Amino acid sequence: MLSAKSLFQEILDHDESFRLFCSIAAGGEAQGGWENARIAALVPQSERALAPKIARHGADEDKHGRIFAALLKKRGLDPVPVPPETDYTMLLERGGIGLAHDRLEADRPLTVQDIVTYLAHSRVTEQRASEQMALLRRHFADHPDIGRAVRMISDDEDNHLAYCHEELLRFARAGHGRAIQRTLRESALAEIRVHRDVSLAVMARMGRILGWSRPRAALLAAGIHAVHAWERFAGWRRMVSLTMPERRDALGGPETTAPEFA
């Protein structure tokens, strides 16, 4: 039976597919850590109170990258280069979503609108991350090798999503509502396209590693296209709504560490 659990179990059980999965995940988390650290350093003076939360977000992403690297090390595996067609963060940037790296590498303060753009982009991508980790948590929370990592990262992603909701609502009350909704919609539509393309690329590589038959590979590709069609039609709306989260000030405390991994 083809299911999300059986599919990931197959990837987990094979060294080369697990190596690719962790390498892609670690690369994306490390990139997110760098981006958030730069944004925290460039926050405009009027929003300096937000800088520690952005820095905490970046520290969490760095921690996740170390966790995936440690999972590889535990299996005696080295990371592999991330194939460009599977690089989610790079493809989002190429699509004009979020803040360009050229802007983050410049030593001049960001604007309030830049911060709004960053938060709207994060609200969309953290929705995806939270959902994906919730899926892994549902099936692998008690797994002896990856369960602890899955639980820790899932908690962090939920915190990141809550923080984005709360801060965007604060900016909406300050008069940025229209800009927020426009940026959220643009980001959501671009993200679901990139997510489809990356999913197809990752599954194609996994299929070659694991020796999937053509019918099985075609079935998985059809499923990815079906999810994209639903998201393009209506599913994107879950990525643009804003509600006050139950977790208030989710990134206001100290960073949680992962000494057992890092």
**Quick count: other Cβ atoms within 10 Å of Cβ 114?**
19
Mean pLDDT, all residues of the chain: 94
- Per-residue pLDDT tens over the stretch 214-251: 999 999 999 999 999 999 999 999 999 999 999 999 99
The residue with greater pLDDT, 252 or 110, is 110
pLDDT of 257 over the 70 cut:
no
Q: The pTM is what?
A: 0.94
Write down the pLDDT at residue 262: 41
pLDDT, position 3: 85
Domain residue ranges in the chain: 4-239
Report the pLDDT value the prediction gives residue 252, as an integer from 0 to 100.
86
pLDDT tens digits, 34-92:
999 999 999 999 999 999 999 999 999 999 999 999 999 999 999 999 999 999 999 99
Reported for 186-189, long-range contacts at CB under 8 A and 24+ positions apart, including other chains, are: 186/97, 187/97, 187/98, 187/120, 187/121, 187/123, 187/124, 187/125, 187/239, 188/124, 188/236, 188/239, 188/240, 189/232, 189/236
For the cut 80, the answer to whether the pLDDT of residue 168 exceeds it is: yes
Superfamily holding 4-239: Ferritin, core subunit, four-helix bundle (1.20.1260.10)
